[in-house]
Amino acid sequence: MTLAENPRRLGAKIGLLAVLHTWGQTLTHHPHVHCVVPGGGVSLDGRRWIACKPSFFLPVKVTVVVKDSKWRRTQGRRFRDLDKGPEG
């Protein structure tokens, strides 16, 4: 969400709707999430809708870098140790 608020990217507050399903179509245990993400967001001042570009919501490469950075930060030392490899 921080990435979308950046004026260089979208400059808007975004949201999403997510539903957790725990069963599949054949009633077997199959946890998964369905998400609906609108194609834009509300401007930072809350006065208008800002639509994303027709070709993509947010730049994929930038999104991956932000996601990876946040993931590594949340994993803390355990993940850093994995990055070092077996010779550590």
Beta strands in the chain (DSSP E): 12-13, 17-23, 29-36, 40-43, 49-51
**pLDDT digit string, tens, across residues 2-56:** 788 888 889 999 998 999 999 888 889 999 999 998 889 999 999 999 998 888 7
29-36 and 17-23 strand pairing: antiparallel
| Distances in whole angstroms, Cα of residue 26 to Cα of each of 32, 34, 35 | 14, 17, 21
Tell me which of 69 and 84 has the higher pLDDT: 69
Q: How many CB atoms lie within 10 A of CB 44?
A: 13
**pLDDT digit string, tens, across residues 51-83:** 988 887 787 888 888 888 887 877 776 655 666
CB neighbours of 31 closer than 8 A, spacing ≥ 6? 20, 21, 22
